[in-house]
Structure 1
Amino acid sequence: MVLADLGKSINQAIGGLVSGQQDVDEQALDGMLNEVSKALLKHDVGLRHVAALKKNIKSSVNLENTPPSQRKNVIQKAVFDQLVALVSPTGEQTESAVFKPRKHKCGVIMLVGLQGAGKTTTCTKLAIYYQRRGFKTGLVCADTFRAGAFDQLKQNATKAKIPFYGSYVEPDPVVVASEGVNKFKKEGFEVIIVDTSGRHRQETELFDEMVQISAAVKPSQTLMVLDASIGQAAESQAKAFKEASDFGAIILTKMDGHAKGGGAISAVAATKTPVAFIGTGEHIYDLESFTPQQFVSRLLGIGDLQGFMERMQSLKLDQKDTIKNIQEGVFTLRDLRAQLQNIMKMGPLSSIASMIPGLSQFADQMGGEEPTNRLKVMIFAMDSMTNKELDSDGQILLREPSRMIRIAKGSGTSISEVQEVMTYHGTMANIVKQVGGRNGMLNQMQNAKGPQAELARRRMAQAQAQAGAGGAGMPGMPGMPDMGQMAKMLGGGGMPDMSQMAKMFGGGGMPSMSEMMNMVNNNPALSNMMKQFGGGN
C-alpha cells in the first residue's frame, strides 16, 4: 500500500496510547502527538502542516470533559479528521475533482505537467480507468517535442487496446491535437484524452503552446501530472502551472515506495487544488481515484470498503454461474479459475488487501511479483485442463494422477504446483459444501431467527476453521491467514449484518468517523479486525 510505513508509524503511536489503559491524561496525549508528528516529518510532510495538525488535534480533544471509556474514540476520530484535512484542499471530500463523463456525450481531458513526471504513461492509465467503466475512450498524442513520445503512447495504447491518434510528420502540436479530437468526436467517442509536451515553468514558449492547445480542443477538464517523489517542491510547481493553465485537478504519479509521497499530497493540498488520482505502480492498471477520507482510512488500516466495491463494480465481473453453484453447495475447478482471474483483474494483491478491514496488515506481505506470479501459475495449470476436468469437483484428477502429469506438462508447471491447485480447491469446496445446498448454512441463516440465527453463524465460523485446519493458506499470498485464522479474526461473530453493510455502501457514501467507530465497537467481527488500530476498548 502507498505510504504503508507512515500508516504503521501512526498506528503504533495511537496504539501505544490507548491500549492497556483507559485513563488517558494530557501527558500521554502529548507523547502520542509527538510520535505522530515525527512520523509525518519523516515522510516529508511540511513542518508548518505538521504543526497545524498537532495544534488542531490538541484543541479538538477535551480529555477533562470526556469519560475515560470514550477517550480512545475521541482521540482516534480527531487524528482521522485532521489527517483528512491535511490531504484535502478544503478539508472536504473531492469527488468532484474526478471528471465524470456521460454516455453519448463527448468529453475532452488534457494532461499537462513537467518533463519526466510520467504523463504519457498516465494518459494510458487514465484511458483504461474510463474504459473499464464502460466509456468509449481514445488517446491523442500532441507531444511533438519529445522524440519517441508518439511511439510510447502508440505502444501503450496498442497493449491496452485503446484507439489512438498521432502523427510522425506534423510538427505543430496544436494541429495534431485539433485533428485527433475532431476525428474521435465524429466517431462518437465519449472520453478523449490529449497528451501534451512536458514543460518547465520557465519555458514560456511551451507554456504558450499549452494555452493554444487548450483553446483549440476546449477540454472539459485539464489535469496536471505531478511526480510525487519531489515532495514539498510539488507546491511551487503546482502554483506555477496554476498561474499559466487553469487546471482543475492533479494526478500524483510514482506514489509507490516514495517516502516523499506524504509531502507531495500535503503540499498540493496547500495550493487549494484537489488531487484527482494517484499512480500507485508501473502496471497500466495502477491508477486510483483519490478521496481524502478513503485514503486515510486505508492508511490507518481501517480499509476502504467503498473503494473496494467501486473497483468490483467497474470490472463488471460475471459471477452468476459461480454464485448459483455456491448456493447449491458446488464449487468446481472452473469456479476456482474464475475467482482467481477476477482477483487478477482487480490489480495488485497488496492494493486489494489494503481496502479490506482486517487484511491491511498483510498488504506488505503481498507486495512484489511473487504472489501475483503464484496466482498466474495456478491459472496456467487450470488453463490446461479439459472441460470435463474444469466442470468436475476435482476427484477425477485424484483418481487418475496421470491427468495431473499431463496438465503439468501442458501448462509448463510442476506436478507439485498442480497439487497446490487441488489442495486449495479442496479447501474452498469443503467450505462451499457446508455453506450451500438445501441443508447448508446459507439457507439456515436465511430462514433462522433469534438464537437459531446466532447458532447458524457460529456453525459457519466453525466450518471455516475446520476447512482451514489443513493449513491451506490463501493462494499465492505468503503470510496470509488460512480460513481457520480468518474465522478467528472474525471472532466467531461473522461479518456485519446487512443493515450495517447497507449503511456503509448506501447512497450516503462512507459513514462518518464516529459512525464507523460505533459500528466497529458494536460488532465483534469488526472490533477484532480493528485491534491493530489502537487496541481494544
Structure 2
Amino acid sequence: MVLQDLGRRINAAVSDLTRSANLDEKAFDEMLKEICAALLSADVNVRLVQNLRKSIKNSVNFASAPAAVNKKRLIQKAVFDELVALVNPHADPFRPKKGRVNVIMFVGLQGAGKTTTCTKLARHYQTRGFKTALVCADTFRAGAFDQLKQNAIKAKIPYYGSLTQTDPVVVAAEGVAQFKKERFDVIIVDTSGRHKQEEDLFEEMTQIQNAVTPDQTILVLDSTIGQAAEAQSSAFKATADFGAIIITKTDGHAAGGGAISAVAATHTPIIFLGTGEHMLDLERFEPKAFVQKLLGMGDMAGLVEHVQAVTKDSAGAKEAYKHITAGLYTVRDFRENITSIMKMGPLSKLSGMIPGLSNITAGLDDEDGTMKLRRMIYIFDSMTAAELDSDGKMFIDQPSRIVRIACGSGTTVREVEDLLSQHRMMSGMAKKVGGQRKQMQRAQNMLKGGNKDQQMAAMQKRMQSMGGAGGAGGMPGMGDMAKMMQMLQGQGGAGGGIPGMGGMDLQSMMSQMGGLMGGGGGGGGGSGGKGRGR
C-alpha cells in the first residue's frame, strides 16, 4: 500500500534509536538521516524534508534536556508531532449542512479517479442522511457520462448528464438548477480532467465554477503522481482556489509522498483518501490518525467508522451484541464476528487500522488471510444449530463432534480444535465485558438519585479498596475518576462495543485472531482452492 514502506522505515529508524544502548547526538543524527532518506524516496518535497529535519532537531536538545527527562519518549514524540505537522495545513474543510443546498465541484488531472470519487463521496453523504445528487459536466472524455451513470445507479443516487449537449458549462448549470429546484442537500459536479498547461481547459473550469458557484471545490490528486503533485496543485489553486484535496489510488505501491507535499504547497486540507475501487473504499483523513496508522499505531476511529458502515444493518451483529452485554458468547456469535471481518475488505487494509495487527499479519497476503477466514466459515457451516447456539462445552464432553465437523468441512481436526480454543478465549473476554457492564449499570443507578458527590466519594473509596486502576478486581482505567465518568456516560471504556463486532475489545480480539491465522491455525488441511483478497 502507498506509504506503507515509508512507515516501516521511519518506525524502524525510531525503534533502532530507542533500543540503542548509547542514545547520544550521533545516534540521533543517524536516525534523522534515515527518516529523511525514507521521506525523499517516497517523493516528499526536498524543502519539506529539510524543514522537518530542522524542526525535529530543534525539538530534541540533548544539551538543555533535564536529566530526569526520558529521552526516548522525547524523540518519539518529536518525530510524531513533526510528521503530523507535515500533513496538517491548520485549515478546516467545508462541511455541508442539511436543510440547504451544498454544491461541490471536482477538479483534477486526467485519470486521477474523479468520477469514481464523486460517487464515493455522494454515497458517503447519502449514508449520513443527506439527499445527494450527481452532475456529469465532463463532456470531453468519451464514456464519462456512462461511467457516472453506472456508478450512480449502483449506489442509487440521482444523476444528470447529456449525450447531445457538448458545452460542459451548460450541462453543469442545468444539472445544478434542476437539483436545486428539487431541494437536494448535496449536489456534486464532476468535470473534465485537465493539465496546468492546457489554458483553454483551465478557462473552461473557471466558467463552470462561475456558473454553478460551488460552496466547495475539491482537487482530486492521484497518489502516484510523484514530485509533479506540488506544481499541479499550485496551478489549480491559483485558478480554481479549491478548498480541499482527496488523494486517490492509495491502495497501490507507488511512493505517494508527492501528494502529501501538495498539502504544504497549497495550505489545503486533505479530507479523504481513496483506498480502492469499491464504493466503501473512501477513508476520512485526520492528520494524527494518518500518522498513527503510518507508524503502525493503528487508526481505531477509522476502524469504528468502517465497521459501522459495513455492518450497519446486520441483524446477526445486533444479536451478538445483546449476548455480549449479558456476558454470553456463543459459537454463532463467533461466526458473526468472522463474517464481519470478511466484509470489511482486504486483510492488508484492516491490519493498518488496528494497533499491532500489521506486525502479526506481515507474512500473510490478502489471498492467504482470506482463505484462512473462509476455512473457519467452512467449519462453522458444518456444525448443527444446537452446536452453533452453544457455549462450546459440548465439544469437550463429546470429542467425536470435532471429528465429524472436520470431515464435513474438508479441514483437519487440528483446525477445528484451534477454532474452538479461540472461541473459549473470546468467551472469557465476553464474560469480563458482561461483568464490567453490570458494574457500570449499578454505578449509573447509584448516580441517578441522591447526593452525587457523596456517592462518587463512596465509589472512589471502593475503587481504592479494590486496587485502583488496573487492580485485580478493578475495571481498566477506573483509577482516574474523570475516565470513569466518561465510561458511565457511554463515551468509551471497557466493553464500549462496536456494532458488528459483538461489543468486544476489538484490539484484543484481533490480536487473538492474528495469532490463530498467523501460525496457530494448524496444518491447513485440504487445499480448498484459492480465495480472492477482495
Length-normalised TM-score, structure 1: 0.74
Corresponding residue number in structure 2 for 1:226: 221
The letter of the residue matching 2:366 is G
Q: For residues 379 and 137 of structure 1, do their structure 2 counterparts lie closer, same or farther at Cα, with a shift above 3 Å needed?
A: farther
Contact 1:441 1:456 in 2 (8 A): no
Q: Deviations over 1:126-165 (max 9, x none)?
A: 2232233333322221111111111112222233333322
Contact 2:463 2:478 in 1 (8 A): no
Q: Deviations over 1:162-193 (max 9, x none)?
A: 33222222322223223333333344432221
Whole-Å Cα distance in 2 between the matches of residues 270 and 153 of structure 1?
31
1:9-408 pair list within 5 angstroms: 9-21=9-21, 24-66=23-65, 67=67, 69-89=69-89, 92=90, 94=91, 96-97=92-93, 99-313=94-308, 316=312, 319-362=317-360, 364-365=362-363, 368-372=366-370, 374-375=372-373, 391=389
Q: For residues 155 and 50 of structure 1, do their structure 2 counterparts lie closer, same or farther at Cα, with a shift above 3 Å needed?
A: same
The letter of the residue matching 2:216 is Q
Shift of 1:115: 0.7
Shift of 1:276: 1.8
Contact 2:234 2:265 in 1 (8 A): no
Contact 1:127 1:162 in 2 (8 A): yes
Whole-Å Cα distance in 2 between the matches of residues 416 and 338 of structure 1?
20
Whole-Å Cα distance in 2 between the matches of residues 306 and 58 of structure 1?
31
Q: Secondary structure at the match of 2:162?
A: coil
Corresponding residue number in structure 1 for 2:8: 8
Contact 2:116 2:148 in 1 (8 A): yes
Q: Secondary structure at the match of 2:10?
A: helix
CA RMSD across the alignment: 4.1
Q: For residues 341 and 85 of structure 1, do their structure 2 counterparts lie closer, same or farther at Cα, with a shift above 3 Å needed?
A: same
1:448-487 pair list within 5 angstroms: 449=463
Contact 2:2 2:254 in 1 (8 A): no
Q: Which runs of 5+ in 1 are unaligned?
A: 409-413, 460-492, 510-524, 530-537
Q: Deviations over 1:322-380 (max 9, x none)?
A: 22212334333542343234334544433332222222324645653443455467568
Shift of 1:433: 4.3
1:418-497 pair list within 5 angstroms: 426-427=420-421, 429-431=423-425, 433-436=427-430, 442=436, 449=463
Q: For residues 108 and 336 of structure 1, do their structure 2 counterparts lie closer, same or farther at Cα, with a shift above 3 Å needed?
A: farther
Range with greater deviation from structure 2 (377-386 or 211-220): 377-386
Corresponding residue number in structure 1 for 2:448: none
Contact 2:139 2:166 in 1 (8 A): yes
Q: For residues 58 and 400 of structure 1, do their structure 2 counterparts lie closer, same or farther at Cα, with a shift above 3 Å needed?
A: closer
Q: For residues 385 and 433 of structure 1, do their structure 2 counterparts lie closer, same or farther at Cα, with a shift above 3 Å needed?
A: closer
Range with greater deviation from structure 2 (283-292 or 337-346): 337-346
Q: Secondary structure at the match of 1:416?
A: coil
Contact 2:324 2:433 in 1 (8 A): no
Contact 2:382 2:405 in 1 (8 A): no
Range with greater deviation from structure 2 (221-230 or 168-177): 168-177
Corresponding residue number in structure 1 for 2:522: none
Range with greater deviation from structure 2 (235-244 or 263-272): 263-272
1:522-533 pair list within 5 angstroms: none
The percent identity for this pair of structures is: 52
Shift of 1:305: 2.7
Whole-Å Cα distance in 2 between the matches of residues 118 and 221 of structure 1?
18
Whole-Å Cα distance in 2 between the matches of residues 353 and 339 of structure 1?
16
Contact 2:375 2:411 in 1 (8 A): no
Q: For residues 281 and 364 of structure 1, do their structure 2 counterparts lie closer, same or farther at Cα, with a shift above 3 Å needed?
A: farther
Q: For residues 430 and 400 of structure 1, do their structure 2 counterparts lie closer, same or farther at Cα, with a shift above 3 Å needed?
A: closer
Q: Secondary structure at the match of 1:141?
A: strand
Q: For residues 360 and 326 of structure 1, do their structure 2 counterparts lie closer, same or farther at Cα, with a shift above 3 Å needed?
A: same
Contact 2:130 2:185 in 1 (8 A): yes
Shift of 1:230: 1.5
Q: Secondary structure at the match of 2:226?
A: helix
Whole-Å Cα distance in 2 between the matches of residues 456 and 391 of structure 1?
33
The letter of the residue matching 2:173 is S
Q: For residues 433 and 384 of structure 1, do their structure 2 counterparts lie closer, same or farther at Cα, with a shift above 3 Å needed?
A: closer
Whole-Å Cα distance in 2 between the matches of residues 293 and 438 of structure 1?
31
The letter of the residue matching 2:193 is G
Shift of 1:110: 1.0
Contact 1:301 1:354 in 2 (8 A): yes
Q: Secondary structure at the match of 2:128?
A: coil
Shift of 1:267: 3.7
Corresponding residue number in structure 2 for 1:485: none
Q: Secondary structure at the match of 1:109?
A: strand
Q: How many equivalent residue pairs? A: 465
Corresponding residue number in structure 2 for 1:489: none
Whole-Å Cα distance in 1 between the matches of residues 155 and 412 of structure 2?
30
Contact 1:178 1:216 in 2 (8 A): yes
Whole-Å Cα distance in 2 between the matches of residues 146 and 382 of structure 1?
49
Length-normalised TM-score, structure 2: 0.74
Contact 2:123 2:155 in 1 (8 A): yes
